[in-house]
Every structure is written in structure tokens, then in C-alpha cells.
Chains A and B, each alone.
Chain A
Amino acid sequence: MGSIVVDVMLKPEILDPQGQAVAGALPRLGIEGFTDVRQGKRFVLTVEGEVTDEHLAHARQAAETLLSNPVIEDVVAVHALDATAPTEGDA
């Protein structure tokens, strides 16, 4: 099974109260040095078999119609997730 990742972020000029709440909590944990936090959304769309160009095209269509609202959000990435590669954070 293949998967496609769609990442959506609020546009830079749109206020992100959730990100601000996270930013406010970090210093309370003693984690310093981050001047801003922006929170986004990641969707993982799974398909039968390998990810094809057609799957990617459908994912882009989904990203632009349902998964994001172009008034306030940007689709920042649509790409196939490489199942064999270690995911970020793995040792």
C-alpha cells in the first residue's frame, strides 16, 4: 500500500491562536528560543498498490477542494510517502 501526504498551513498573514497557545506553553516546559509557532494539518491518503501520477492528481484535487480553504490556508506539499525510508524521528 502506498500513501500520499498532504500538508496544509494557515497563510502567514492569518492569525493562528492555536500556534500561539503552543508557543506560550513551551517556555513553561523550559523549552526556550522559539520566537513563533504555527500549527498546520497533515493528511495521509492511502491507496491500493503503488502511488501513481493519477493518485497524486486526485490528491491535489482533494487538497484544493476539501482539505484546504484557499481564503485562509495554503497547500504546502502533496507528495508520495516513501514507505521504505525511515520516517523522521526514527533512530
Chain B
Amino acid sequence: MKIGVVTFPGSLDDRDAARAVRAAGADVVTLWHGDRDLHGVDAVVLPGGFSYGDYLRCGAIARFAPVMDVLVPAAQGGLPVLGICNGFQVLCESHLLPGALIRNDHRKFNCVDQVLRVENASTTWTSAYAAGQEITIPLKNGEGGFVADEATLDRLEGEGRVVVRYVGANPNGSHRKIAGITNDRGNVVGLMPHPEHAIEPGYGPSTDGLDFFASALASLEQVVSA
């Protein structure tokens, strides 16, 4: 199984994302923002960082990178895509996911080990978890406040599309303490916390993040064997 990791100018966590993909047992294909094809990958990770310096709005310029011209229709067609932090912002700017991420309500950059509850364990990227399971992975951002209008929030809740939710105090002012969401097919997932930083004992607060990548691998293998 080949999982692509996209590097934009200013991406920061692409190496860690690639490492997590390998740790889960998949092959990594490095994709460049200027690539106009996806090199036959079975899934894509959009990593964290500050693409294009976060100029204009986080993810706003990355959304129009050449690689996104091929990624957006592929994701709409069912290709599994995981957006982490800046990757989540890119997915919202691309309208692959609803809502937007704005500056933290307390105006400070936040870097903590964050407890999350997995609300939806049936997406391509969370099937290895149990619904209701609590996990602890790093959260680090300045603009992580998830916002959407009430109708969109109600729809996300009603359709079970809230994937992970913050446990305890709201770390950034996100509406309804939403940390991550999915599209209606469950193949596109975006979240602000960083599963790729919690995959190996001794590095990070836990190994709870590895199952995001293991979930995708299991889903892809299931498709092949079906």
C-alpha cells in the first residue's frame, strides 16, 4: 500500500507523517506541491506546518497548489485523505470539509498533550479505534478554533461526522469542542491534533496516534481483498 505525504513550502511535519505511515506498515510516496499527478498512491496525508507562511489565511494558498487540482477530485471520488493541523486547514479551504479554523480564542500558541474522545470509529482513518475511546496526542497551533454556522454544526453532529472531540477544557475555542471532522463518505478526515507525533514509545505522550495510519492501511487492504 502506498500512502502519499504532500510537502508544501512551509510544511513542517511531513517527515513525521511519513515516519508514521512507515510505522503502520505502508510505503511512503513523497508528493510535492507542484506535482500534477498523485503517482498512483492509495491514500494521501496533508501534514502540519505553515504552508506558504500561513499568509492570507491558513491553507488558503496551498488550496490552489497544482497537487490540489488532482487531489480534490480524487478525494471527492473516494480517495482516503487525512489532513493534520495545517492539512485540516487546507481541507476546509478546499471545501472538502465544512467550516473553517480561526485564531485561538485566547490568542496564544498552544502546545499540549491533549485528551480526545473518538466519536466516530467508522471512518477510513479511525476504524482501528473503539467509539468513545479516549486518546492522548499532541496539539500545537495558533489557529485551531473550529467554527461553522449552527446549521452546519447540527448537521455534523446529526450525521455522526464529528470524528474526535476535545476532552476537558476547550483548548482553543472550537465550536462544540470539535477537534476533527469527516466528509459524508468518511474517506476525508481533518483534525487539529497530531497523531503522527504519538506513534512510538518514548517519543510523545503515547502511541495512541498510530491507529489513524493503521486504520487507513486496514481499510485499503480490505478493499483489495474484497
Interface positions of A (Cβ within 8 A of B) = 10, 13-15, 17-18, 20-21, 66-67, 69, 71-72
Question: Does A66 contact B64, Cβ atoms closer than 8 Å?
Answer: yes
How many pairs of A and B residues are in contact by the CB < 8 Å rule?
37
Q: Decide if B60 is an interface residue (CB 8 Å cutoff).
A: yes
- 8 residue pairs bridging A and B, Cβ less than 8 Å apart: A10-B102, A15-B173, A17-B104, A17-B106, A18-B103, A21-B107, A66-B61, A71-B98
Q: Return the contact of A72 from the options B105, B147, B173 (Cβ within 8 A).
A: B147
Per the bound structure, the CA–CA distance linking A21 and B147 in Å amounts to 20
Within 8 A of A (CB), among B96-121: 98-100, 102-107
- State which size class the interface on B falls in: 20 to 34
Question: Does B60 contact A72, Cβ atoms closer than 8 Å?
Answer: no
Q: Decide if B93 is an interface residue (CB 8 Å cutoff).
A: yes
Q: Distance (Å) between the CB of A36 and the closest chain B CB?
A: 16
Q: Decide if B145 is an interface residue (CB 8 Å cutoff).
A: yes
Q: Decide if B226 is an interface residue (CB 8 Å cutoff).
A: no
Q: Decide if B224 is an interface residue (CB 8 Å cutoff).
A: no
A14-B102, A15-B173 known; A69-B93 Cβ under 8 A: yes
